[in-house]
Each structure stands twice: as structure tokens, then as C-alpha cells.
């Protein structure tokens, strides 16, 4: 029997079941199961191509993440600083995700502000595109990125989830 490099766990949250996936001990994906069913098939194909097998369930390996998420959903300011594996991102996307990861809990920044911080003044849409393919929302808090006029903008898992995540952090946009 071959050793498996990829595992998953389901986390019941107030906004629905979240699927956590890891590869070689590092978190690679956080999927809102209710809204991201099509994406899950794509992610599983990627992981199988990389590891040779599909992830198997192992809740014990994710206890650290479960604890952090539980605290987060209870309204605690949680810092997600455990190393992750952004296995699918381009160097450019990773640069954007790293900038988004710096947005503090309870603070919203615009797509344009993120673009400006990266020296890409005319690239707010590029920032939005990177948010749309963020493999680990909440951990990389793309829900904190909003339109310049203060409206929510989009969210891969649905604007209602974005709104709920912002509300957990005390932001009611």
C-alpha cells in the first residue's frame, strides 16, 4: 500500500461545512462545500495528478486548523500564520495573496488599494481575479477586499458568505 500525501477534513461552521485539504502536511485548500462543488472536482484532479492518489479523510491532522477556525467563528481575532502550500498559484497571484494576507482582522481594503500597494495602480481587476482563485479563503482573507466605493464586490463562494465573514469581524458593509 502506498503512503498518501494528501488528506482532507470537514469542518462544520456557522456558514456551512468547510472542506480542508492538505498536501504533504500543509494546508492547500479551504472550500465552502455548499457553494464550491464544481471547484472540488477540479481541485481533486490537481491533487491526484500531483500525489498519485485522492485525499483521504483524517480529521486528526487538521485539529490545529479546526481549533483556529472555531475560534475565528466565535469572533476571536485569530492569526493564521501556519505555513500553507499555494500549489496552484502563479508567482503574480502569490504576490497578491501575500499582500491580502496582511490585511488586519476587522479591516476592509479596496481592490484598488491592494493594487496600489503592489505598485500596480491600474490593476484592481487583476487583484479581483486573484481573489477569485484564492485557494484558502479566510486564511488569505480575500473577503476583506471590497470595491473602492465600499460595496462588497464579488466572492467566489457567494456574496452572502463574504457578508457573513465580514460581519463575524464586526464589518457591516
List the domain range (segments joined by +) for residue 31: 6-73
Both 96 and 65 in a single domain? no
Which cell goes with 32?
Answer: 465552502
Both 26 and 52 in a single domain? yes
CATH code of the domain covering residue 142: 1.10.10.10
Q: Is the pLDDT of residue 1 over 70?
A: no
Q: pLDDT tens digits, residue range 108-121?
A: 999 999 999 999 99
Residue range 147-172: mean pLDDT, rounded? 92
Q: Is the pLDDT of residue 27 over 60?
A: yes
Catalytic-labelled residue, pool 74, 131, 142, 147: 142
pTM of the shown model: 0.89
Residue 49 lies in a domain: yes
Q: Is residue 147 flagged as an active site residue? A: no
Residue 85 lies in a domain: no
Residue 41: the pLDDT is 81
Residue 49: the pLDDT is 82
- Give how many domains the chain has, as a whole number: 2
Amino acid at each position: 500500500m502506498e503512503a498518501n500525501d494528501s488528506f482532507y477534513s470537514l469542518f462544520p461552521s456557522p456558514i456551512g461545512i468547510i472542506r480542508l485539504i492538505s498536501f504533504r502536511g500543509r494546508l492547500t485548500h479551504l472550500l465552502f462545500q455548499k457553494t464550491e462543488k464544481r471547484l472540488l472536482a477540479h481541485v481533486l484532479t490537481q491533487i491526484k495528478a500531483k500525489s498519485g492518489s485522492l485525499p483521504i479523510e483524517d480529521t486528526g491532522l487538521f485539529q490545529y486548523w479546526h481549533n483556529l477556525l472555531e475560534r475565528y467563528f466565535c469572533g476571536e481575532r485569530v492569526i493564521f500564520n501556519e505555513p500553507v502550500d499555494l500549489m496552484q498559484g502563479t508567482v503574480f497571484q502569490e504576490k497578491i495573496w501575500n499582500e491580502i494576507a496582511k490585511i488586519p482582522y476587522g479591516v476592509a481594503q479596496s481592490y484598488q488599494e491592494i493594487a496600489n500597494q503592489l505598485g500596480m495602480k491600474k490593476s484592481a481587476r487583476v487583484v479581483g481575479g486573484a481573489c477569485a482563485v484564492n485557494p484558502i479563503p479566510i486564511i488569505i482573507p480575500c473577503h476583506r477586499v471590497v470595491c473602492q466605493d465600499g460595496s462588497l464586490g464579488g466572492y467566489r463562494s457567494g456574496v452572502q458568505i463574504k457578508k457573513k465573514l465580514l460581519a463575524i469581524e464586526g464589518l457591516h458593509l
